[in-house]
A and B are shown apart, each in its own frame.
Chain A
């Protein structure tokens, strides 16, 4: 429960502070959000599987975000930023979906 409150607190801070994101950072935000979602759902599944490890969670979260941002950056430099972004979204989206399916099996036994 406490991490959920932390998530809500982070949401509230972001909504009320309304920080302005520099323009050069904006292309990486959507990919970073998808990567973070992937890490979060992976962590939820690990909790339900009984094998959660906080260090693994933090490292996978940070590396997810960094690698996704790097792929987009590289794609932008090579002129295929949109395609690589699509690839990242597809891969992470598939992972998110199968993790959510596993969470669903844990919670609803169906």
Chain B
């Protein structure tokens, strides 16, 4: 209530002397006399009339007001509680979809691994039946080089992590990769170190369980490091198979080793190099045919061969990963004027070729 302002806290309070806080009567009365002065006045009035100072608090008026207060509380709590908004629902749906797709993707990955193993078994069986044993050995060797099988053996693990506090090396000069905090491992660091490991004689390398095949790239997107289109989380554990101690000696003296020790000294980036006797790197599950397609059986291969090859040559770089199914993925690149004419030209081309 506002009756505290004209209440007893006014400047006329204590006889002749002004209170030192007279200019703050509002705050003073609010703090010192929080109770409604009406209560005191009513009590004094009743006492003057010879009645008890307090009335009963069981009067109907009080009870009705109590019911009203409870009702007010309940209504306010119910109607003001934040309701799930449409945006929150959409967000929950998106999260559910993402999680579903991630589950689906991991299931598909497992399926790919199983099918790859099956294909390899059939391959071995077919080769055995055809009686050429050296081909299966050749395939096994090529698979190892292409990174499509998991490998095990001795080697070393190199664990790199951001500086404990990313501002630890703040005054130590600017990194070449500006825009990053100095104590942070960048994709360029990983590239240099991995290249150094290759140069030191590593035979197979994986980072955080992602096999580095010949087509894998270490890149960055914003501040995240991406290996083969999959983002990595720190710490970065590089597993390199090969002669552990020999690799370590070569690596330490090479440019990459010096670079890594510089990173540790200047920017407090943490790195631990360990050799081990039994390490394993997984297969590269992302190896797939992106543009090339296997040659179809002899009869149809001659008819469709030239047409598709010219389409592919027109825009080899724009073919999406799933673009091997139809020519529509590359059509907008071949006909730049209008995308609507693209399907008609290809259909015309196909109809010419088909007879």
* Residue A78 interfacial (CB < 8 Å): no
Contact status B1-A55, CB under 8 Å: no
Report how far A12 CA is from B192 CA in the complex, Å: 70
Q: Type the 1/0 row for A12-38, where 1 means its CB is closer than 8 Å to any CB of B.
A: 111100111100001001101100101
Which residues of chain B from 47 to 101 have a CB within 8 Å of any chain A CB? 53-59, 61-76, 78-80
Contact status A67-B72, CB under 8 Å: no
**Interface of B: prevailing SS:** helix
Interface size on B, residues (CB 8 A): 39
The listed residue (B1, B55, B59, B75) touching A19 by CB distance below 8 A is B75
- Who on chain A is nearest to B78 by CB? A18
**B177 → A minimal CB distance (Å):** 45
* Residue B36 interfacial (CB < 8 Å): yes
* Residue A102 interfacial (CB < 8 Å): yes
Contact status B72-A32, CB under 8 Å: yes
Contact status A58-B65, CB under 8 Å: yes
**A57 → B minimal CB distance (Å):** 6
Interface size on A, residues (CB 8 A): 53
* Residue B35 interfacial (CB < 8 Å): yes
**A42 → B minimal CB distance (Å):** 5
**Interface of A: prevailing SS:** helix
Which residues of chain A from 49 to 73 have a CB within 8 Å of any chain B CB? 49-61, 63-64, 67
- Who on chain B is nearest to A101 by CB? B34
Report how far A17 CA is from B73 CA in the complex, Å: 13
Q: Please, which residues of chain A bring their CB within 8 A of the CB of B69?
A: 7, 10, 36, 40, 61
Q: Type the 1/0 row for A56-95, where 1 means its CB is closer than 8 Å to any CB of B.
A: 1111110110010000000000000000000000010011
The listed residue (B62, B64, B67, B80) touching A29 by CB distance below 8 A is B80
- Known A-B contacts A19-B75, A26-B79, A51-B54; the reply to A56 vs B42 at CB < 8 A is yes
Contact status B30-A91, CB under 8 Å: yes
**A95 → B minimal CB distance (Å):** 4
Q: Please, which residues of chain A bring their CB within 8 A of the CB of B2?
A: 67
Contact status B53-A51, CB under 8 Å: yes
**B213 → A minimal CB distance (Å):** 59
Q: Which of A12, A57, A63 has the most CB of B within 10 A?
A: A57
Contact status A46-B35, CB under 8 Å: yes
**B211 → A minimal CB distance (Å):** 57
Q: Other than the known A7-B70, A20-B79, A52-B55, what 12 A-B pairs have Cβ atoms closer than 8 Å?
A: A6-B64, A7-B69, A10-B68, A10-B70, A36-B69, A43-B57, A52-B57, A54-B56, A58-B61, A59-B38, A60-B1, A64-B1
Q: What are 16 A-B contacts defined by CB distance under 8 Å?
A: A6-B63, A6-B67, A6-B70, A14-B70, A21-B79, A29-B72, A29-B75, A33-B72, A45-B35, A52-B54, A52-B55, A56-B39, A94-B30, A94-B31, A98-B31, A102-B34
Binding site for A on B (CB under 8 A): 1-2, 30-31, 34-36, 38-40, 42-43, 46, 53-59, 61-76, 78-80
